Every structure is written in C-alpha cells, then in structure tokens.
Structure 1
Amino acid sequence: MNKEGALESLLFVAGDEGLSIEEIISLLEITPLEAHHLISTLRDKYDLDSSTGLTIIETRQRFQLATKKDFSELIRKYATSPFSSHLSQAALETLAIVAYKQPITRIEIDEIRGVQSSGMLQRLLIRGLVKEIGRAETPGRPIIYGTTDYFMNYFGLKDLDDLPSAEALFQIQDESFDLFNQEDFLENHDRMEIYELKNKNDSQ
C-alpha cells in the first residue's frame, strides 16, 4: 500500500475534523517517526507542486487537507457569487440536520445521512449558516456544529424553538427564496472566519 496515497485518502475523508498524529499512527500502522516524516513529505509535495491547490495544515494538533492561501480570494469570490447562491439538496439536508439536531458532530451527521458530509459542512461554513461551537468530550474530540445568528436572522427566527418544519427549509429553497442576497451576505462578518483559519498554517 502506498503510504502517501493512504494518508491523503484518510485526510480527505476526515475533512474538517482532521486526524491526530496518534490516529495516523494507528490507522497506517506506522511509528511516530514514520508518521511525522510521511506528513512532511506529503505536505512538501503539495507545496512544491504549483498545479495543485491543496496543502496540509495543522490546527489544534490535528492535520487537515486545506486549500492553499494563494487561492483564498478565488474561493471568496466563489462564495459570494451567484454561482454558489443555490444550495444543493445534499447541502439543505445537512443544514436541516444541523438545525434540528444541534449541537452535533460531523460523524453524527454522517450517520444520519448515510454518506460523508465534510464537503457539505464546508459549504455551509463558508456561507455563514453553520459554525463550530466547541468540541465533544469523546475520543478525538470531534468538532461540534450549530447554526449561526445569520441563519436565525435570515429565517426570521428569535430562537431555535421557532424553527419551522424540516420540509419548510426545502420549500423555501424550492420557491427560490433569496437565501444568499449578496448585499446581506457580504455583511455577515462570520462567513469567512473558519475558511480563513483553515488557510493559515498554525505553526504553534
């Protein structure tokens, strides 16, 4: 088994949760020295290859795949453009699960949906509809997600008890409700915070 490819696959599947060095050691059945060398090798491979937009970052002692900071403006442009204004069925499904089951981890969302949800969560984070609200006191300390004030304001909710039925969220999208009115979206000060954090390599 190609170790670099194996690590890359694991980091992709782990998504925003990332992997700790201990998890990498256990999953790949390698030594701590081999794990650190493997991470450095793959990171250098990404950083030296101008044809890829990916890199590896370390945040809170967990390693994650992230986009290179060179492309942050392009990602920002996409996130605030009409091209990204419509949420897919999968994104709406993920948003509904977070809204009604919060606080919730990505793994719990995956279990409910039956598929991996990292990509959907990243889209919702960039759009400012969900946010990280802490970490669970379970092995690996996975990130806990919840909805944002922007989500509440846009749906006209005072608190979570006012949430409409899950079907209503889909109906709003089906009726082409301008969930991402560009002027309002640009005023949302939290929308890029997590994305920008992922583009900054935490050297501490």
Structure 2
Amino acid sequence: MSFKEPEPFIEALIFASEKSISAEEIQQVLAELSEEQFSLKAIEELIEQIRQKYLNLNLAIELVQLNGGYQFLTRKEFYPVINQLQIQRSKKKLSQAALETLSIIAYKQPVTKLEIEQIRGVNCDYTVQKLLEKELISIAGKSETVGKPLLYATSGLFMDYFGINSTKDLPQLNELVSESNVIGEQNE
C-alpha cells in the first residue's frame, strides 16, 4: 500500500482509536502497510496540520494531545451540553468510596492495598477490584516488604478519563484547601 497523502490515514487512525494514540503507534501502523518510512517528526508535523485543520473549520471537535498521544475530543465550549448528556446517561458513576480510593492511588502511587486501607480507615478490597475492572488502575508490581503485596497505580485510561497528560497535572493538595475548611487563623 502506498501513502502519497498520509494525512487522512493518520486522521482515521486517531479518530478510530478508543484511547489516545501516540505518534510511535501511528508510525508502526503505517510501516506495516507501506514500503515508505515516515519519521516521527514527519508524523508529528502531519498531526499538527490535522489539528490546525480542525481549528480552522471551527468544528465541535478538536485534536488534543493527551497522555502522550493524540485523541479527538469535544471542544471545551461544548462542555455544558455534553455534561448534561452525561448526567442523563450516567448509570455507572464512581461511588464516593471509589473516588476516594482512586485519589489515594493517584497521589501516592505506587501504593499497596494496606496503605490505602490505613489512609481510608476501611477495607477496600471491593473498591480496588471494581477500579481494576473499570481499568482505571493497574497492578504496578510487587512491594519489597514482607509478603510482597501488590502495588497499584493509575492506568492510561485514568489519564483519558480525567483528561490529563500525567499525574503532574493533578491539582496540588494546597490548591484543594479552601478558606472554609480552615479552623482558626492562618499565620504565614
């Protein structure tokens, strides 16, 4: 197969991908189907052309770099209408326990189940199992401590789900503390 115009093929790959797709993955797919070799720089330039095309057309979707790859997402100004649709359709929300467990894993990763339970103060077997099933967390290995318990970390799907590139994009804890949560006077 020959790709005289590779841009539409790259656009199709990004569009069809369930999660963000990296330039390296695109390069591998094109290499499998063509005698021509595309450098990562050439692919990234074509991706930028696609991104500009969607910006210039003023469409409801845009090409976004996410989690080390690229994905088509709805533009931010359409958030209210999409949010309303999600509210109507949301039957599989994360429970409060799941959100608490997921946040502990996100900020402390890699972390053992025992460490999560010590922070939360309750058993978290069921919640961790559900987060694994939803693929929001993954097993990151085994701890070197006694018993070699499993270590848990967030997954790439977690990044996609929350729309961030890395855990560095998570809010810092000092950003989350509001004036209403403080007792007494604050001396700086």
TM-score scaled by length of structure 2: 0.46
Q: Which has the larger radius of gyration?
A: 2
TM (norm. structure 1) is 0.43
By relative contact order (CA 8 Å, sep 6+), the higher-ranking structure is 1
